[in-house]
Amino acid sequence: MADEAKILEAVELARSTGKIRKGSNEATKAIEKGIAKAVIYAGDVSPKEIIMHLPLLCKEKEVQCYEISKKEDLGAAAGLAVSTSAIAIVEAGDAKAILESLAE
């Protein structure tokens, strides 16, 4: 599993210098439209059905996909006061280098 700190840093950088979509519905739409560069979802989402399609969809569309353990951490990295189940990075901005290193 990729380094969570690195993944969250990428989310924060993409939020401030690029563009992100928050929530599993928005992430799903971004993947389907072909604009998602990477998708990060939380492993502690309940029920699992909310996010279980994301890794499959990412694989099908060849989009980077990462799981982190806590939705609170993901929400914080996305600049939200609440937790979030998933986010999609649509414009990497300064997070591009991190995403490239994670993809290796």
Where helices occur in 62-95 by DSSP H, the ranges are: 71-77
Which stretches in the chain have pLDDT values below 50? none
CATH number at residue 54: 3.30.1330.30
* Residue 23 half-sphere exposure toward CB, CA atoms < 13 A: 4
The predicted pLDDT at position 2 comes to 65
Residue 104 has a pLDDT of 85
* Full domain range(s) for residue 97: 4-103
In order, the DSSP letters of 57-85 are HHHHHT-EEEEES-HHHHHHHTT-SS--S
Q: How many domains does the chain have?
A: 1
Tokens representing 30 are: 């971004």
> How many other CB atoms sit within 10 Å of the CB of residue 28?
19
pTM above 0.85, yes or no: yes
* pLDDT of the residue at 76: 97
